[in-house]
Amino acid sequence: MNEVTPIESPEGRPARVRKPDWIRVRAPTSKGFNETRKLMRDLNLNTVCEEAACPNIGECWTKKHATVMILGDVCTRACAFCNVKTGMPRMVDTKEPQHVADAAAQMGLEHIVITSVDRDDLADGGASQFVKVIEALRRTTPKTTIEILTPDFRNKHEAAVEAIVTARPDVYNHNLETVPRLYPTIRPGARYYASLRLLEMVKRLDPSIFTKSGIMLGLGEERLEVHQVMDDMRSADVDFLTMGQYLQPTPRHTKVIDFVTPKAFDAYAAIARAKGFLQVASSPLTRSSYHAGEDFAQMRAAREAKLARQAAR
C-alpha cells in the first residue's frame, strides 16, 4: 500500500492528491476517440465512461469500445464514490433501446456492455429497459455478445432479475463495490447481502449466464476483508471478479485512503484464482468493463475447458 500524499495548494482551495506513476494516463486525443464521442452524441446516448470519469476512456474510445449507460444520466442515489449526477431523472427514452443497437452495429461491436443509473423512481427499477435493449441488440446485431451491469433494484430485485435473466444476456454483472464494513459511508443506499442475493439469484435462474462482480480498493478496506468478499462471491457462484483502484472524482467525494500497488493487485488476483473464479481482472486501472470483450472470450474458454476436464473424469 502507498499512503496518499497531498499536494499543497493556495489557501482556501482543496488540496489535490498526488497520484503514483502507475495510475496516470494520457489525455485522449485520437481520431477514434472523437469518432466514438460523435456517435454517442448523434444517437443521444450516455456513457458511463464520461459520467463516471473513467481513466481508461482514451484507450477504450480509441478502440471504439464504450459502455452505454441507459435510463438517462441522473441517478436517484448519491454514493460517496460515484461521479454521476444525483436528482430527479427524466422520463425513460423509448427510442433508447434501438439507438443502443444502432450504435453497436455502426461500431461493429463483438461485445457490448450496458449499464444504468439507479432508477428507484420506477416501479421496476428500470429492468424493462434493460430487457428492451437486449431484445433490440439481438434483432439488430445478433452476433454481438451482451454484458449488462445493473443496479441492485432495491426492494424489487426478484421480479427485475427474473425479467432480465429471461432475456438472456451473456454476462450479468452487479458490483459489490466495497467490503461490508464500509457500506454505511461508501454505499449507503445499498445493502451488501442484498447484492449477494441478487447475484446468487441469477445463477439459480439460469446457470449458463456468466456472473460478474467487482470491488474498488483504496477505500480503507483490510486485506482479510477483501478475502472474505471473494469467499462470499464464490459462495454465490460468481464467475468473474474485477478489482481496481478507487480514484476520487472530485473533492466532494470520499477520499482515497491509500494507493494499492500493482504488486498487491497481483497478489489479490492469485488468491482469487486459487478460490476458483473463472476469470480475474485485478490492476490499478481495472474497471468493470475494461477489456470486457477479451475477458469474456477468456472466461468462456475457461468454462469450456473446465467442463471438458469434468467430462473426461
Are the C-beta atoms of 281 and 242 separated by less than 8 Å? yes
Q: Which of 116, 50, 108 is nearest to 89 (CA)?
A: 116
Residue 267 phi, psi (nearest 5):
-65, -45
- Rg, the chain, Cα only: 19
- Pairing mode of beta strands 171-173, 145-149: parallel
Spell out the SS3 assignment of 200-267.
HHHHHHCCCCEEEEEEEECCCCCHHHHHHHHHHHHHCCCCEEEEEECCCCCCCCCCCCEECCHHHHHH
Q: Is 289 annotated as a binding residue?
A: yes
Q: Is 82 annotated as a binding residue?
A: yes
The neighbour count for residue 302, using CB atoms within 10 Å, is 15
The Cα-based distances of 267 to 136, 225, 230, 242 in angstroms read 41, 15, 13, 13
Q: Is 9 annotated as a binding residue?
A: no
Identity (one letter) of the amino acid at 266? D
Which residues are CB-contacts of 106 (< 8 A; sequence separation ≥ 6)? 39
Q: Is 208 annotated as a binding residue?
A: no
Q: Is 288 annotated as a binding residue?
A: no
Q: Where is the binding site for [4Fe-4S] cluster, in residues?
A: 49, 54, 60, 75, 79, 82, 289
Q: Where is the binding site, in residues?
A: 49, 54, 60, 75, 79, 82, 289
